[in-house]
Chain A
């Protein structure tokens, strides 16, 4: 088990390094120089000479591998970041300085990651309870009208485009009525956790409801399969109540693949919930990355959002595998 974890951790680090290098390389070798926005944003005319100077000051004239090395070294021990004529002291972990705002990327990351994590957790709580709950209920009533209503209802919800669902919710529940009057992100540092909670309630609900159909259908399928298993017949033959058979025996077996899917989904959510953040005006990771990719591109921000996304996905994969070993005693990790 221990050896397995160490090996998995090492391969995870490798994946993260490769992913971040890929992003780095794409922008380095891309058609427009990362220094272009800095050059244009300085107010003076951007001549080829100035551009070359800025590139040189930023180290963009060096080979991509060397620049990547400098960047990663900064992540570990910190470095001095030079943009044009300005020099910034960037402490570890240093992810650079934004070309646009000249703010330390690490500081903004710390702020931006909070609402994204909150939305991911809140949305997950909603779709796990609603989606999996509907799945279990539908499987237990398989073939009845209730089952059909739940299945077609979730199909209906899942056929509404997500951005439309977000917009409708925002329009009707925040703007036109006072059901969720204070939607948006109010940082915890404001000292009003209740306001933070109510502000994110609608985004979480919408995200959760939109993801529920997938979980409803998936967990219904898993439960229907499991309910046909021999050990369910054994459980009934013992004289157990229907509820015990359903939850203690069937759900216990069906939950394993659901947890697997959830782990991967959760990693993706943490990497950024772009639509949700954009429409409900939440300054999270997703919107940050989205804004950074629009001209003038902000390479340090783009790199960190991709890097953080890769970290979350790799880590959640790792956790899924470890949890799998705990949930299913037949899986020997070694």
Chain B
């Protein structure tokens, strides 16, 4: 195997400035591929992924474990070790391509204009440093002229803003002295301390109970309104997506399989994997006898991804596609019947009709009934 480095060696400052264009969204990920060479072979963690996020908007990325959600987002921060990851494609932050950028340049961006908050704040915060020390460290690294006192004031201000009571004294506590929800707020305060333009939230509410989860999501929305930041919300919880996201990107086996406006994706999904995700959401308001329908099987190995559609083996609609197209040919991301902004990666002809007639009645009979009434009235 050739050891060619897919990275452009170093982005020249002039080049980056020239690439900046006023009309482009704040973050544009274009044809991003992330691979990890291992002893067993090349792990194709993310393949040909493209998406964009504008300031003030939220993109939700959904998919099951190992679908490449976190790997692709960590690439946006340049957090992959260049010795162990092969990254190609482009990631443009504010018009500047950061793929292959030197670590020194990346560090200026990390935690400053682009910040990340992680799930499980207990593990993600350093256990031996007081939260105040961790917050001020994040502030001072990007504000070298700030005094310790100013940084501390800023830390207290941020703790106050994320709704931690008595921030003046809690700033001197250790992470283990906070409750789970409060700890996640500390994590958010740390992510937002430098007013980032882009905030990547990697399953920020996964370990939290539902009421705390709602508070955290409200908090993120408030802060987004205040700072007009772009947010990428990585989750496997479609409820979170429905509440937060403007756009949704569904990932499967390292690839985008459906991408479009949130309402579109949730009401008229066109890809059987998205149907499966929707079917496996428990719904308290529905008939108590209604069943949660799991997606059978497991995702394919990222070491040897299938040549055709990665979901083909688990898809129970592939018989509606002629021949063995699904097994042999990877579908492109292309618009379906519902406008140019809704992209899907599927060979199925007229998926919307299949969804309404076969899938929706199973997962939400009431909705299906009203939808069919509506469509018969329309016709």
Residues of A that sit less than 8 Å from B by CB: 143-144, 229-231, 233-242, 249, 252-253, 327-330
B137 CB–A CB distance under 8 Å:
yes
B127 CB–A CB distance under 8 Å:
yes
B152 to chain A, nearest CB (A): 17
Partner of A240, one of B128, B137, B190: B137
Contacts of B176 in A (CB 8 A): 329-330
Contact A241 B107 (CB under 8 A): yes
Closest chain A residue, CB of each to CB of B104: A241
Contact B124 A240 (CB under 8 A): no
Contacts of B110 in A (CB 8 A): 236-239
Contact B123 A237 (CB under 8 A): no
Q: How far is the CA of A328 from the CA of B126 in the complex (A)?
A: 11
Contact A239 B126 (CB under 8 A): no
Using known A-B contacts A238-B137, A240-B137, A241-B107, determine if residue A252 contacts B77 with beta carbons closer than 8 Å: no
Contacts of A143 in B (CB 8 A): 83
Which residues of chain B from 117 to 159 have any CB-CB distance to chain A below 8 Å in the complex? 118, 120, 123-129, 137-138, 141-142
Closest chain A residue, CB of each to CB of B141: A239
Q: A240-B137, A327-B128 provided; 19 other pairs, C-beta below 8 A? A: A229-B123, A230-B120, A231-B123, A231-B124, A231-B126, A231-B127, A233-B118, A233-B124, A234-B118, A237-B77, A237-B79, A237-B116, A238-B110, A239-B110, A239-B138, A242-B103, A253-B127, A253-B128, A329-B176
Q: How far is the CA of A238 from the CA of B187 in the complex (A)?
A: 11
Interface of B, helix, strand, loop or mixed by DSSP: mixed
Q: How far is the CA of A242 from the CA of B82 in the complex (A)?
A: 13
Residues of B that sit less than 8 Å from A by CB: 77, 79, 83, 103, 106-112, 115-116, 118, 120, 123-129, 137-138, 141-142, 174, 176, 190
Using known A-B contacts A237-B110, A237-B111, A239-B111, determine if residue A329 contacts B128 with beta carbons closer than 8 Å: yes
Q: How far is the CA of A82 from the CA of B129 in the complex (A)?
A: 60
Contact A240 B118 (CB under 8 A): no
Contact A330 B126 (CB under 8 A): no
Contacts of A233 in B (CB 8 A): 79, 118, 124
Contacts of A329 in B (CB 8 A): 127-128, 174, 176
Contact A234 B126 (CB under 8 A): yes
- A-B CB contact pairs (8 Å), 29 listed: A144-B83, A229-B123, A230-B118, A230-B120, A231-B123, A231-B125, A233-B118, A233-B124, A234-B124, A236-B110, A238-B110, A238-B138, A238-B141, A238-B190, A239-B108, A239-B112, A239-B138, A239-B142, A240-B107, A242-B103, A249-B126, A252-B126, A252-B129, A253-B126, A327-B128, A328-B127, A329-B127, A329-B128, A330-B127
Using known A-B contacts A233-B118, A234-B118, A252-B128, determine if residue A239 contacts B123 with beta carbons closer than 8 Å: no
Q: How far is the CA of A117 from the CA of B348 in the complex (A)?
A: 80
Q: How far is the CA of A234 from the CA of B174 in the complex (A)?
A: 16
Contacts of B77 in A (CB 8 A): 237
Most chain B CB inside 10 Å of its own CB: which residue of A143, A144, A237, A328 = A237
Contacts of B129 in A (CB 8 A): 252
B27 to chain A, nearest CB (A): 16
Q: How far is the CA of A234 from the CA of B79 in the complex (A)?
A: 10
A139 to chain B, nearest CB (A): 13
Q: How far is the CA of A229 from the CA of B123 in the complex (A)?
A: 7
Contacts of B190 in A (CB 8 A): 234, 238
Partner of A239, one of B109, B125, B128, B174: B109
Closest chain A residue, CB of each to CB of B123: A230
Closest chain A residue, CB of each to CB of B77: A237
Contacts of A229 in B (CB 8 A): 123
Contact A237 B126 (CB under 8 A): no
Interface of A, helix, strand, loop or mixed by DSSP: helix
Contacts of A236 in B (CB 8 A): 79, 110
Q: How far is the CA of A239 from the CA of B111 in the complex (A)?
A: 6
Closest chain B residue, CB of each to CB of A229: B123
A225 to chain B, nearest CB (A): 13
Closest chain B residue, CB of each to CB of A238: B111
A31 to chain B, nearest CB (A): 54
Q: How far is the CA of A37 from the CA of B125 in the complex (A)?
A: 65
Contacts of B79 in A (CB 8 A): 233, 236-237
Nearest 7 Cβ contacts at the A-B interface: A239-B110, A230-B123, A238-B111, A239-B111, A230-B124, A231-B126, A239-B107
Closest chain A residue, CB of each to CB of B122: A230
B65 to chain A, nearest CB (A): 16
Q: How far is the CA of A170 from the CA of B370 in the complex (A)?
A: 93
Closest chain B residue, CB of each to CB of A328: B128
Contacts of A327 in B (CB 8 A): 128
A243 to chain B, nearest CB (A): 11
Contacts of A234 in B (CB 8 A): 118, 124-126, 190
Contacts of B118 in A (CB 8 A): 230, 233-234, 237
B137 to chain A, nearest CB (A): 7
B305 to chain A, nearest CB (A): 25
B69 to chain A, nearest CB (A): 15
Using known A-B contacts A233-B118, A237-B111, determine if residue A330 contacts B174 with beta carbons closer than 8 Å: yes
Contact A235 B126 (CB under 8 A): yes
Most chain B CB inside 10 Å of its own CB: which residue of A143, A238, A329 = A238
Q: How far is the CA of A295 from the CA of B122 in the complex (A)?
A: 61
B330 to chain A, nearest CB (A): 32
Contacts of B111 in A (CB 8 A): 237-239
Closest chain B residue, CB of each to CB of A327: B128
Q: How far is the CA of A127 from the CA of B126 in the complex (A)?
A: 28
Contacts of B128 in A (CB 8 A): 252-253, 327-329
Q: How far is the CA of A249 from the CA of B118 in the complex (A)?
A: 17
Q: How far is the CA of A233 from the CA of B116 in the complex (A)?
A: 10
Closest chain B residue, CB of each to CB of A253: B128
Q: How far is the CA of A231 from the CA of B118 in the complex (A)?
A: 9
Most chain A CB inside 10 Å of its own CB: which residue of B83, B108, B116, B126 = B126
Partner of B115, one of A144, A237, A240, A249: A237
